[in-house]
Amino acid sequence: MKYVMKFGGTSVKDAGYRKICELLSDYKKDKVVIVVSALRGVTDSLLEATRKAELGDAKWVNNFLQELKEMHRTFVIKSIGAVPAWLQVKLSKADYELEHVLYGILYLKEATPRSVDYVISFGERYSSEIAAATLIENGFKSKSFTGGEAGIVTNDRFGEATPLMNITRENIKLTLLPLLEDGVVPVVGGFAGVTKDQITTTFGRGGSDYTATIIGNAIETDEVVIWSDVDGIMTADPKIVPEAQTLPEITYDEAIEMAVIGAKSLHPRALEPVIEKRIPVRLKNTFNPTHPGTQIVDKVAKPFPSVVKVVSLIRDVGMLTIKGASMVGEPGTAARFFDKLAEAKINIMMISQSVSESNISVVMKRQFLDKAYNTVKDHFGNETKQLHLEPDVVVIASVGEGMKGTPGVAARMFKAVADAGVNVRMIAQGSSELNISFVVKDEDGAKAVKAIHKEFIEEKVKT
């Protein structure tokens, strides 16, 4: 079998990359490509470093460079026991280049999207060098690559690049397939690629999943395995619902729906390359590797007994409502409202308008709420419309393909929630019918999740 396996920052913890060597002993007969993301917290701190450099804070930047060096060194010792001289040479080269680019930003006091991408790609450059070295020191044949070296070519949308799949596919086949034939385990740094002109780009936060599925598509792998520190996708957060259970399978559509509503941490675009070739993705736990995890597939082998598969609680959101009798039958109000929010680059998660047309509510991440309020207020200030803010709300999102075309799901859901004494502030259903989302007050969130989980999942699925 051929696998692409991605290891995230939380998947290794105390054992360091020795963990990968241990796990690979179960895949001795297989061909495996490893994709790693940066060590935990590194991408965040690199981003912070570009900001401090832009502000001219040389002291902070120098301190940071020192700490980053030490952190990686500690991780090498955790993984290998010592720092092999040949690895030190490679790490020092990366240190040197990172230092120079941050000094460039310090002198210019300007961090363009292009330079930010270059800086934040270093997290995966370090981690891929260290992972490959750990494999080599443990007797594996291995070789490290940056995304660009492996052959990933993207457009030039820095910070949110899209791979140019035709060239990428050909490149990756040429670089990685011969190595796999030779029994080498290639290690590719996730998150980044290069433009046709060899300028470094990144896929957006969490983009290492995307790297794994792009490579999976290129080499036509049997499965992409995403390793983390949980058993897979659960029917609910076990901290809220102790009866929650791991789902053996979900479909691509359900996974996309979850990514879109922000309920799960798979990179939203990461599924495109595997859907195209119907390659399954498996989410597994490095600390419980015998657990089969959750497989994401085109069609499930065994239908889940409940129409609702996952109930999620999405925190840190807020709701903005615009009301006014003057909106009734007045075309263009909604358009202007959304236009202004779009101009302010505010991403809207949910929308609803009452049939009376006298109000429109939108839900967004809480951090954008003030900006949204001010933007809309500036625009509609002279009109007789009221704006209303609710910062203390959460979204409850239920996902399941079985809801599609099944009458009465919403009725059952809202009855269960009402019976739990929870007041629903706003409701939206995507036209895909794969998800029903609604807004409740912060303090009612857990109650609503429990009520739905009980009604749909616990009553149906006996463990």
- Residues lying near ligand ASP in the complex (CB under 6 A) are found at 8, 37-38, 43, 123, 190-191, 205-208
| Assigned token pair, 1 | 């079998």
Whose CB is nearest to Mg ion?
206
The rounded distance, in Å, linking the Cα atoms of 278 and 299 is 10
Rounded to 5 degrees, φ, ψ at 141 are: -90, 130
Is 362 buried (19+), middle (13-18) or exposed (0-12) by CB count in 10 A?
A: buried
The nearer residue to ligand ASP, 43 or 50, going by C-beta atoms, is: 43
The rounded distance, in Å, linking the Cα atoms of 359 and 326 is 10
Is 260 buried (19+), middle (13-18) or exposed (0-12) by CB count in 10 A?
A: middle
The nearer residue to ligand ASP, 209 or 223, going by C-beta atoms, is: 209
Helices 445-452 & 409-419 angle (0-180, nearest 10) = 130
The nearer residue to ligand ASP, 210 or 252, going by C-beta atoms, is: 210
Q: Is 212 within 8 Å of 188 (Cβ atoms)?
A: no
273 to 292, contacts with Mg ion by CB under 5 A? none
8 to 37, contacts with Mg ion by CB under 5 A? 8
| Assigned token pair, 54 | 């832009």
Q: Decide which of ligand ASP, Mg ion, none touches 38; Cβ closer than 5 to 8 Å per partner kind.
A: ligand ASP
Q: Decide which of Mg ion, ligand ASP, none touches 193; Cβ closer than 5 to 8 Å per partner kind.
A: none
Q: Decide which of ligand ASP, Mg ion, none touches 205; Cβ closer than 5 to 8 Å per partner kind.
A: ligand ASP
Q: Is 206 in the site for Mg ion (CB under 5 A)?
A: yes
The nearer residue to Mg ion, 8 or 400, going by C-beta atoms, is: 8
User: Cβ of residue 309: shortest distance to Mg ion, in angstroms?
Assistant: 21
Q: Is 163 within 8 Å of 88 (Cβ atoms)?
A: no
Q: Decide which of ligand ASP, Mg ion, none touches 191; Cβ closer than 5 to 8 Å per partner kind.
A: ligand ASP
* Contacts (Cβ under 8 Å, ≥6 apart) of 44: none
Helices 42-54 & 113-120 angle (0-180, nearest 10) = 140
Q: Is 207 in the site for Mg ion (CB under 5 A)?
A: no
Nearest residue to 349 via CA among 309, 388, 308, 393: 393
Q: Decide which of ligand ASP, Mg ion, none touches 207; Cβ closer than 5 to 8 Å per partner kind.
A: ligand ASP
Q: Decide which of ligand ASP, Mg ion, none touches 123; Cβ closer than 5 to 8 Å per partner kind.
A: ligand ASP
Longest dimension (CA), the chain: 74
Count CB neighbours of 419 within 10 A: 10
User: Cβ of residue 125: shortest distance to Mg ion, in angstroms?
Assistant: 17
User: Cβ of residue 120: shortest distance to ligand ASP, in angstroms?
Assistant: 7
The tally of CA atoms less than 13 A away on the side-chain side of residue 7 is 29
Q: Is 190 in the site for Mg ion (CB under 5 A)?
A: no
The nearer residue to Mg ion, 206 or 216, going by C-beta atoms, is: 206
User: Cβ of residue 210: shortest distance to ligand ASP, in angstroms?
Assistant: 8
The nearer residue to ligand ASP, 42 or 233, going by C-beta atoms, is: 42
Q: Which stretch binds Mg ion (CB under 5 A): 124-132, 206-214, 276-284, 445-453?
A: 206-214
User: Cβ of residue 25: shortest distance to ligand ASP, in angstroms?
Assistant: 25
Q: What spatial distance separates the first Cα and last Cα of the chain, rounded to whole Å?
A: 32
User: Cβ of residue 444: shortest distance to ligand ASP, in angstroms?
Assistant: 32
Beta bridge partners of 28: none
Could you list the residues that contact Mg ion (CB under 5 A)? 8, 206
